[in-house]
A and B are shown apart, each in its own frame.
Chain A
Amino acid sequence: DAKTTQPNSMESNEEEPVHLPCNHSTISGTDYIHWYRQLPSQSPEYVIHGLTSNVNNRMASLAIAEDRKSSTLILHRATLRDAAVYYCIHQMGMRFGAGTRLTVKP
């Protein structure tokens, strides 16, 4: 069963970069990594996804390790609005793990 491991919680200061790690050692070669976040009292929302190469979009960057067993979501300048639970999941099954609760301090 495809599983991901993330730290339970992380803290950041506003306007500083945040690196959110995820281990996915059982990932298969064709399995994409997706990141979602869930703001308080809202549904999860898509952040970014990738297969092998690093990916950038307007919300974040995704750095994928060369062996694909881990990845890091990078928020370049955290804002208070980025406080949320962040989930990395395998595309195979789209099952959510416990996620990382990010707190952003002003």
Chain B
Amino acid sequence: DAMVIQNPRYQVTQFGKPVTLSCSQTLNHNVMYWYQQKSSQAPKLLFHYYDKDFNNEADTPDNFQSRRPNTSFCFLDIRSPGLGDAAMYLCATSRSLVGLAGGPGELFFGEGSRLTVL
């Protein structure tokens, strides 16, 4: 059974039209991450939530926002998508960040949401 579920799997939007991608998890993990992965590149971390604490990567554009209304759900909002934002967006979770014996545990990834910008 899928533990990290992303919707939609495919999203087509127009240049400048806002889009929201969702991620839900059944693992009750404290940490949720959003990554952007462009073709033939490594996943790039955009931000993560540790519980309700939001942590933005320094080079994440302001165009990208996130919300986490509860433990299970996290959203990625792209306010004004440009052609350069076309990518696979990956959501991942982990039990914690640091400090626990065994570390934070591994990342669990969803299947991703592929965004096309016309």
A interface residues (Cβ-Cβ under 8 A, vs B): 30, 32, 34, 36, 43-46, 49, 51, 85, 87, 91-99
Query: Does B109 sit within 8 A of A, measured CB to CB?
Result: yes
- B94 contact set on A, CB distance < 8 A: 94
Whether the pair B106, A46 counts as a contact (CB closer than 8 A) is: yes
Whether the pair A43, B106 counts as a contact (CB closer than 8 A) is: no
Whether the pair B103, A96 counts as a contact (CB closer than 8 A) is: no
Whose C-beta in chain A lies nearest to the C-beta of B96?
A: A91
In the complex the two chains form, what is the Cα distance from A25 to B110 in whole Å? Answer: 30
Query: Does B82 sit within 8 A of A, measured CB to CB?
Result: no
In the complex the two chains form, what is the Cα distance from A99 to B53 in whole Å? Answer: 29
Q: Which of B10-18, B37-45, B64-72, B73-81 contacts A (4 or more CB under 8 A)?
A: B37-45
Query: Does B107 sit within 8 A of A, measured CB to CB?
Result: yes
Whose C-beta in chain B lies nearest to the C-beta of A34?
A: B106
Question: Which among A43, A92, A96 has the highest number of chain B CB atoms within 10 Å?
Answer: A43
Contact of B112 among A36, A43, A93, A97 (CB under 8 A): A43
Whether the pair B42, A96 counts as a contact (CB closer than 8 A) is: yes
The A-contacting residues of B in range 23-46, CB under 8 angstroms, are 33, 35, 42-45
B interface residues (Cβ-Cβ under 8 A, vs A): 33, 35, 42-45, 48, 90, 92, 94, 97-98, 103-104, 106-112
Contact of A93 among B45, B109, B110, B111 (CB under 8 A): B45
- A85 contact set on B, CB distance < 8 A: 42
- If A43-B109, A87-B42, A91-B97 are given as contacts, then 10 extra A-B residue pairs at C-beta distance below 8 Å, sorted by A number, are A30-B98, A36-B107, A43-B90, A44-B43, A91-B98, A91-B104, A94-B94, A95-B45, A96-B35, A96-B42
- A43 contact set on B, CB distance < 8 A: 90, 109-112
In the complex the two chains form, what is the Cα distance from A5 to B87 in whole Å? Answer: 24
